[in-house]
Structures are given as C-alpha cells and as structure tokens.
C-alpha cells in the first residue's frame, strides 16, 4: 500500500504528467512573432536596412489601430496597396502567426461570413499585438 488516499491511491505520480509541453495560443503566437521580428533585425545595418526596420516598426505600431478603426479587410487592403515590401513582409508574418497559408488573409477576410470575419479579426488583432510588442523591443529607433 502506498499510503495515498483518494482516486490516485496506489498509482505512481508520473502517470498524471503529460509528456509533451502544453502551450497556450498566446505562448505559441509570441514564439512565432519573436522569430518573425527577429529576422528583421540587422546587426551593423546600413542606411537602407535601418530605414526598412523603421518602416516595419511604424507599421507594427499602427496596424492594430487601423484594424480597430477601419476593419480587417480595409486594413489589409491599405497595407497591401501602400506599404509595398514592408507591408508584404508584415502581412506574411501576420499570416504565419495566425496560422494561415501565405497570401490568404485578404481573400479569407473578404469572403468570410460574419462569425468567421469576427474570428479572423480577433486572431489578427492578437497576432498583431505580439508583432508590435517585439518590434518595439527588437527594432529600437536610433
């Protein structure tokens, strides 16, 4: 007899511990966002690389507010039209975090029904928040 009382009496304690590490959605998003933004960091960057980092930082800061005020479809369309390569990189990072196939966020947000659109918007806002946090941390303005 093991001396335990209750439903687990006589069972070894290891039977109740999961073998795999369980992560929350936010932990997964944070890890992916860190990897995406970290790729944008250039050590000993020249002027054009610093300018690219600055544009990415500005977009990461403004995108959540843009989604909040205009909506996801309009925000994605704006970034696609106005932000060129920086916008393309940012949207790719957002899709990676959400996770979606490349270049599907715009199409899905245009064609989604109301509940799906709301879910996409919430996921995009949560993912964009992580990109913003890491961009502000890793891409410091000089």
User: Using one digit for the tens of pLDDT, what is the confidence trace for 12-25?
Assistant: 555 555 577 888 99
- With respect to residue 3, please indicate whether it lies within any of the assigned structural domains: no
Residue 50 confidence class, pLDDT cut points 50, 70, 90: confident
Q: What is the CATH number of the domain that holds 78?
A: 1.10.520.30
- With respect to residue 64, please indicate whether it lies within any of the assigned structural domains: yes
- What is the total count of domains within the chain? 1
Q: What is the pLDDT of residue 9?
A: 55
Residue indicated by tokens 């977009």: 59
With CA atoms as reference, report the closest residue to 87 among 65, 59, 54, 68.
59
- With respect to residue 15, please indicate whether it lies within any of the assigned structural domains: no
pLDDT in tens, 97-135: 999 898 899 999 999 999 999 999 999 999 999 999 999
The domain containing residue 75 runs over which residues? 25-137
- With respect to residue 36, please indicate whether it lies within any of the assigned structural domains: yes
d(CA 31, CA 36): 9
Q: Mean per-residue pLDDT for 30-53?
A: 87
C-alpha pair distances (Å), 86 with each of 13, 15, 42, 82, 93: 51, 49, 15, 9, 11
């Amino acid at each position: 007899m093991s001396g335990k009382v209750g439903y687990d009496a006589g069972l070894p304690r290891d039977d109740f511990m999961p073998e795999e590490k369980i992560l929350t959605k936010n932990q997964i998003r944070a890890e992916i966002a860190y990897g995406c933004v970290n790729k944008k960091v250039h050590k000993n960057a020249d002027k054009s690389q610093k300018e690219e980092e600055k544009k990415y930082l500005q977009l990461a800061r403004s995108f959540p507010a843009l989604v909040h005020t205009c909506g996801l479809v309009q925000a994605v369309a704006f970034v696609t039209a106005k932000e060129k390569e920086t916008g393309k990189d940012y949207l790719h990072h957002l899709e990676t975090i959400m996770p979606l196939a490349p270049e599907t966020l715009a199409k899905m947000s245009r064609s989604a029904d109301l509940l799906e659109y709301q879910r996409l918007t919430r996921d995009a806002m949560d993912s964009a928040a992580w990109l913003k946090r890491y961009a502000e941390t890793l891409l410091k303005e000089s």
